[in-house]
Amino acid sequence: MSMQSFEETLDAVLPTMMSEYKRWEGDLLDLVDGDKDTICYFFLKNMPSWWDDYLPPNLLDQHNFLDELYTNSRNEQISCTLRDSIYLTLELFLREQVLNSYARVMDIEPEAFAGYDRWQ
C-alpha cells in the first residue's frame, strides 16, 4: 500500500463520482460528504503509515476499526464526528490529490506555477 496505489484507486473511482455532478471541475470541496468520506477512506486504507496520526491511539485492530468507521457505522453520531474531524485535517492535502487525479482522468495538462518566471 502506498501513495501510488491511492492515486490509482482515486483515478479509478473518480469517473464514477464525476457522473453524479454537473460541470464538476475537480474541486474536492464541491463533493457531498459521502464522497469526501469515500476519498478519505481510500486514502487511509492505502496509507497505513498515517493511521497513528488519525485513528484513536489505543486500538488493537486499526484496519477493522477503519472499515467499521467508514462502512458499517455511517449513521452513528460519534462516527460522523470522527470522520468529519479526519476529513478536516486531510482536506488541503486531499484537495490537491483529487485535483491532480481529475487532471489525469480528464487528460488535462497541469498549469505551471507562474511565480518562478523572472519577468512575471
The model's pLDDT over 70-89, given as tens digits with 9 standing for 90+, comes to 998 878 899 999 999 999 99
The CA radius of gyration of the chain, in Å to the nearest whole number, is 16
Q: Model-level pTM?
A: 0.85
**Cα–Cα distance, 41 to 83 (Å, whole number):** 9
3-56 confidence digits (pLDDT tens)? 999 999 999 999 999 988 998 999 999 999 999 999 999 999 999 999 999 988
27-32: list long-range contacts, CB under 8 Å, 24+ apart. 27/95, 27/98, 27/99, 28/91, 28/94, 28/95, 28/98, 28/99, 29/91, 29/95, 31/98
